[in-house]
Structure 1
Amino acid sequence: MDISHESLHGQDITILGPYRPWRYHKEQGGDGSNYPSHSGRILDLKDSKAEGIDYFCTFISPRIGRYSLVAAVPSHDPAKTVSGIKSLAAKLEAAVNCKNVSSLVVRHTKIQKLADGGNRSVDIHLGSIAIENAEPIAGHSILLLDDVMTTGNSLLACRKLLLDAGADLVKCVALGRTTY
């Protein structure tokens, strides 16, 4: 993996590699034979395929360290309660000694996807996501996961909400960073 760090509004986000959107890859004349493998693993995870979930679990689980909780950034659509990133959080809970609290980070209002031209400011996320129950979060260190980071605003919003709910520390990790 091509691990990097990016600072957004003074917050460090760990990025496990670049993500090239399939649509863009095809528009540039690419096909499956030359699609970047890390991007392919992310698409596998987004499609909830075991090989994508297992790939990222195998990489993250020995590095989870001091984080007693793991959480996933929710989908833009509150009706989508199952996702690959949530499945990864559940698999990490089973693989290491951490508790998955993804169900407590809830999108209550649907927002337009950024890929479709939606406004994805931190304020939009803060107004559409809530922490359902702060009690299990208070006093813990949390590993917060997102599948693809384009602006980073969903990670920043969820981080703020978790800290406001009493988390001691929230470490943001994006499996991929959108590149064009």
Structure 2
Amino acid sequence: MPFLNEEYNNPNQIIFLNTYYPYRIKNEWGKLVRNPNFNSFSGLVLDLKEGKPGAINHFFNLLNPHLKDNILLTYVPSHIPANKDSGVKRLATKLASQNNRVDATSCLVRHSKIAKLTNGGDRNQEVHLQSIHLENSHLIEGKTVLILDDVTTTYNSLFACQKILLDHGAKKVNCLAIGETGGY
């Protein structure tokens, strides 16, 4: 994973580890059915979303050797402002505890609830820009930041968080989603 080293700087690209297939999809009659493409990686992503320690440790062990020192780690906050303890936040915190990295998981804060995206919520980037604000901006000024997300479909939540961080003085902001939603 050379893309996680100091030389990597492509702010228009979202890095993802693998394709995520939702557990259930709608069939041709609109009924929810088990997705035939659902696989073990997708299961690990769901376990991460649920904050299961085995999944957090799995992705920590996968990512940690490839992350450089002295970066800040944050994450895309939940669609519900009160949900401040997600699996992806725990992963970011654990990764930040290594090699002089900085835990910046307190920086991006969802202040207004938005509709759950997997249930048909508005995926427009503007929705995220209007519902997330930055706290502790002193942590990110002039720094390199890595934003983590569990799953991305349109990339808009990641791009919105990236814009917020850059607008408040981050030097460089890269985005990594564990999974990118795949075709059904």
Provide the TM-score with structure 2 as the length reference.
0.86
Alignment partner for residue 115 of structure 1, among 91, 114, 118?
118
Give the Cα–Cα distance (whole angstroms) in 1 for the partners of residues 99 and 61 of structure 2: 11
Residue deviations 1:110-148 (CA, integer Å, cap 9, x gap): 000122221121111000000012111001001110000
Any runs of at least 4 consecutive aligned residues in structure 1 with deviations exceeding 3 A, and if so which?
Answer: none
Whichever residue aligns with residue 50 of structure 1, its letter is P
Map 1:153-164; keep pairs closer than 5 Å.
153-164=156-167
Give the Cα–Cα distance (whole angstroms) in 1 for the partners of residues 146 and 181 of structure 2: 21
2:99 paired residue number: 96
SS at match of 2:106: helix
For the pair 1:68 / 2:74, whether they are aligned, the reply is no
Q: Conserved in 1, the CA contact under 8 Å of 2:70 and 2:99?
A: no
For the pair 1:129 / 2:132, whether they are aligned, the reply is yes
Structure 2 residues without counterparts, runs of 5 or longer: 4-10, 27-31
SS at match of 1:130: strand
CA RMSD, 1 decimal = 2.0
User: Closer, same or farther in 2 for the Cα pair 1:107/1:126, shift >3 Å?
Assistant: same
For the pair 1:43 / 2:46, whether they are aligned, the reply is yes
2:89 paired residue number: 86
Alignment partner for residue 27 of structure 1, among 30, 33, 48?
33
Provide the TM-score with structure 1 as the length reference.
0.88
User: Closer, same or farther in 2 for the Cα pair 1:101/1:29, shift >3 Å?
Assistant: closer
Whichever residue aligns with residue 18 of structure 1, its letter is T
Q: Shift of the alpha carbon at 1:100? A: 1.2
User: Closer, same or farther in 2 for the Cα pair 1:67/1:160, shift >3 Å?
Assistant: farther
- Greater share of residues in helix: 1
Q: Conserved in 1, the CA contact under 8 Å of 2:72 and 2:144?
A: yes
- 63-72 or 12-21: which moved more? 63-72
Give the Cα–Cα distance (whole angstroms) in 2 for the partners of residues 23 and 64 of structure 1: 33
- 96-105 or 157-166: which moved more? 96-105
The count of residues paired between Structure 1 and Structure 2 equals: 170
Map 1:135-174; keep pairs closer than 5 Å.
135-174=138-177
1:7 paired residue number: none
User: Closer, same or farther in 2 for the Cα pair 1:69/1:29, shift >3 Å?
Assistant: closer
SS at match of 2:97: helix
Give the Cα–Cα distance (whole angstroms) in 1 for the partners of residues 169 and 90 of structure 2: 25
Structure 1 residues without counterparts, runs of 5 or longer: 4-9
Residue deviations 1:54-105 (CA, integer Å, cap 9, x gap): 1111111111115510001100110111100000011101233211111110
